[in-house]
Amino acid sequence: MKILVLNGSPRKGNTLTAINSFVKGVSCEHEVEVVDTYKLDVSPCTGCRACQCYKGCVAKDDSNMIVDKIVDADLLVFATPVYWWGITAQLKMVIDKCYCKGAYLKNKKAGIIVVGGAETNDKQYELIKGQFDCISGYLSWDLLFYNAYSATQTDDLANNESAIKELESLGSLLDSEK
């Protein structure tokens, strides 16, 4: 399985810890690539419709490169800290650019990892899950997992042994999807 992890965090803290734990737990049989969305040069989607949902974006930036990686992946993992009750702008911009090849994004597998400062029963996690539920429903994605974690200090997640084990065990879900 070709797995693409889209890291929405520009910091090296709890979201990166979550990603590294997930990657560590993924079977050696899978090809995994982690892309730091904050390092990409992606302009906002202008809704010009020149792409017609399959031609690619007309912008001369990293849009087509990252969307092609998303199209080629079997499993998309979106990892993000909570910024103002939602996902990061960096990750959202990449998701918006998926419009340029939306016709090729149907029936994918997806997973979501969210890390925020509030307790996991807070409204912010519900809002993010709702957004991904809508995206998954629209594109007929199989949402394999949605895992939310509360962590405020840079090393909170790394010190949460049960969370780390849970993240590492997500790989077993993929083995059952073969």
- pLDDT tens digits along 26-70: 977 899 999 999 999 999 999 999 999 899 999 999 999 999 999
Question: φ, ψ for residue 18 (rounded to 5)?
Answer: -65, -45
174 band by pLDDT with thresholds 50, 70 and 90: confident
Q: In the predicted model, is pLDDT for residue 2 greater than 70?
A: yes
Distance of CA 157 to the CA centre of its chain: 18
Q: For the chain, how many structural domains are there in total?
A: 1
In this prediction the pTM is 0.95
Q: Which positions ≥6 away from 3 have C-beta within 8 Å?
A: 26, 30, 31, 32, 33, 73, 74, 75, 77, 174
In single-letter form, the type of residue at position 3 comes to I
CATH number for the domain including 44? Answer: 3.40.50.360
Is the pLDDT score of 178 beyond 60?
no
Task: Write out the residue range of the structural domain in which residue 153 sits.
Answer: 2-175
- 134 Rama class: left (phi>0) / alpha (psi -120 to 50) / beta: alpha
Closest among 30, 11, 9 to 170, alpha carbons compared:
30
